[in-house]
A = this chain, B = another copy of it.
Amino acid sequence: MRFASLTTPTGREPVLILPTPEGDRVLRLGHLAGDVAAILADPDLRERARRAGAEADAADLPRLDPTALAAPVVPGKILCLGYNYRGHVPDGADPTADDPAFPDVFVKTADTLAGPNEAVRIPRAATDVDYEGELAIVIGRTARDVALADALDHVGGYTILNDVSERAWQRRQSQWALGKCSDGFAPLGPWIVTPDEVGDPQDLLVEVERDGVTTVSQSTATTVFSVAFVIHHLSQVMTLHPGDVVTTGTPQKLPAAQAVHRPLADGDAVTVRISRIGALTTRFVAASAPDDSEVAA
């Protein structure tokens, strides 16, 4: 199933996205729950959503207007991994030789959340904004002190997060928060795909396209820490709740893309594509001085 959140005149409504040969259709689920997280958290609601999707005549449903998609969940917390993909490993070398012992985890604040159609505003003080295309885990079932073998049972689904980062602010001090937490620096979506449709989360191709050029292309098979390990590990020190988002780090840019990389600027667009999940395109816009002085006034 693909769950999404649709902007309505009165707020947001959870919906099921049903693909048809003529494009995606929308099945409203507001009668089941107020948001997607509540459906993911409840086996009965999930089953009712599944049945509603199976029984619907998709061709008769309204077409999906992609511009009406909001972030599929409003996470209670967004946790992100740094350094999780192995770089190029020469033939014959042990690919695990340089692996860190533990995942490096940081937080993006609630204010970083953005829907799949919101443009990211580049702060006036920013000089080096960058993208990071990442597989995002959406928790479906409360997780605390979870064994590795049980960890995947706590996944409600998967989506895509662009971990937008301001490198100059990120590198000025040991902790990365000021480079990671500008407003809207976590576009999320476009929808959440349930684990039965995603299959093995360690066999997904993560690709990023910028200006028509593929700058990242690497499989989640090359991560140091699996989805299961990350949930197990985090749950030892914190409770993960339904709707919480945990991202799994970004692959390095391809060498050719690294060579010509320039900071994101007004008008740029970046698309993150992950197999069996979908694509998230984010536009970047410059801060507009008049608006800002109004806010500060």
- Are B237 and A174 in contact, CB atoms less than 8 angstroms apart? no
Instruction: Answer whether residue A175 sits at the interface, using C-beta atoms and an 8 A cutoff.
Output: yes
Contacts A182-B238, A238-B181; A105 near B175 (Cβ below 8 A): yes
CA of A292 to CA of B189, assembled, Å: 32
Contacts A106-B177, A177-B105; A111 near B241 (Cβ below 8 A): yes
Chain B contacts of A142 at CB under 8 A? 295
Closest Cβ of chain B to A139, distance in Å, is 12
Chain B contacts of A110 at CB under 8 A? 76-77, 110
- Are A236 and B111 in contact, CB atoms less than 8 angstroms apart? no
Partner of A105, one of B82, B173, B183, B293: B173
Contacts A105-B175, A177-B106; A296 near B146 (Cβ below 8 A): yes
Number of copies: 2
Most chain B beta-carbon contacts within 10 A, residue among A100, A238, A295: A238
Chain B contacts of A147 at CB under 8 A? 296
- Are A145 and B106 in contact, CB atoms less than 8 angstroms apart? no
Most chain B beta-carbon contacts within 10 A, residue among A82, A144, A166: A144
Chain B contacts of A241 at CB under 8 A? 111
- Are A237 and B76 in contact, CB atoms less than 8 angstroms apart? no
- Are B82 and A238 in contact, CB atoms less than 8 angstroms apart? no
Contacts A125-B237, A144-B296; A104 near B181 (Cβ below 8 A): no
Chain B contacts of A101 at CB under 8 A? 172
| Interface size in chain A (residues, C-beta < 8 A) | 51
Nearest B residue to A123, CB-CB: B237
- Are B144 and A292 in contact, CB atoms less than 8 angstroms apart? yes
Closest Cβ of chain B to A109, distance in Å, is 4
Instruction: Answer whether residue A176 sits at the interface, using C-beta atoms and an 8 A cutoff.
Output: yes
Partner of A239, one of B111, B125, B169, B237: B111
- Are B178 and A237 in contact, CB atoms less than 8 angstroms apart? yes
- Are A183 and B239 in contact, CB atoms less than 8 angstroms apart? yes
Instruction: Answer whether residue A68 sits at the interface, using C-beta atoms and an 8 A cutoff.
Output: no
Query: Can you identify 5 A-B contacts, CB atoms within 8 angstroms?
Result: A77-B110, A101-B172, A111-B238, A123-B236, A144-B292
